[in-house]
Chain A
Amino acid sequence: MAITQAMCTSFKTQLLTGTHNFTNSTGNTFKLALYAISGGGKSSTTATLGASTTAFTTTGEVASTGTYATGGGTLTNVTPSADGTTAITDFSDLSFTTATITARGALIYNSSAANAAVAALDFGGDKTSTAGTFTIQFPTADASNAIIRIA
């Protein structure tokens, strides 16, 4: 039972079938849900996320608190572009306020495509906010750092 940073394998397949559209405004709706391990999820559940994750799951998801509701927050897509020969896409940073959260990782998924999983994110350790703000900052959108890159 763990959260492993990975691009979901099903997502790679779905790229070849044109399932996902990351275009800003006119593209699909992508969401980010937060997950806990060691029974820290709602109803004492534990998350298992990684390359084999195929869709959003409530198992291990953190409980609703503050502005965080089941299913997580909606991401704002940044239309994909090319940086040299690398295709990249990005999202605006996401914050949940007045929230009491302990999360170990997250899942980015496409709520316009049957909640298909995109990527599992491992925070590297528990991150906690207590009646405060929980912010996820995406890396610089370039060929070396962007959140999703096809090189």
Chain B
Amino acid sequence: MISFPTEIQVASVNVMTSDEGGHSTEQIVELAMDRILKVSDTAPPAIKEQAEAFQNNIRQVLQHYIELARREERATIARRMAKSGHNDIADLVRRI
């Protein structure tokens, strides 16, 4: 009889938490980075160095655009609030 080993596996999840509000830009960047690129500890040094440089570039781009997206969203919300006559709330949103 010929048999083939088959295995069913469950992986670990990553848990991220925040206090008094949502995730920070840095946390969101880390969540995204975990999905985009992983650098193996066993990679040859030259490849590892290049991969880490690429990883840092991606991290900076994400940081910039996520921050921009958050700011623009706040601007839109503040404008909607102001247009509805809620200037005090609009001011609070703008200052976040």
What B residues does A150 contact at CB under 8 A? 6-9
Q: Interface residue count for A (Cβ, 8 Å)? A: 36
Contacting pair B22 A132 (CB below 8 A): yes
Whether A24 is near chain B, meaning CB under 8 Å from some CB there, is: no
Q: Interface residue count for B (Cβ, 8 Å)? A: 22
Contacting pair A130 B23 (CB below 8 A): no
What B residues does A136 contact at CB under 8 A? 13-15
B30-38, B58-66, B70-78, B87-95: which lies at the A interface? B30-38
What A residues does B16 contact at CB under 8 A? 133, 135, 137
Complex-state Cα separation, A134 to B13, whole angstroms: 13
Q: List 24 A-B contacts (CB under 8 A).
A: A6-B10, A15-B8, A97-B22, A101-B17, A123-B15, A124-B12, A127-B15, A131-B19, A132-B17, A132-B18, A132-B20, A133-B17, A133-B18, A134-B17, A135-B15, A137-B16, A137-B34, A137-B35, A139-B13, A148-B9, A148-B10, A150-B6, A150-B9, A151-B6
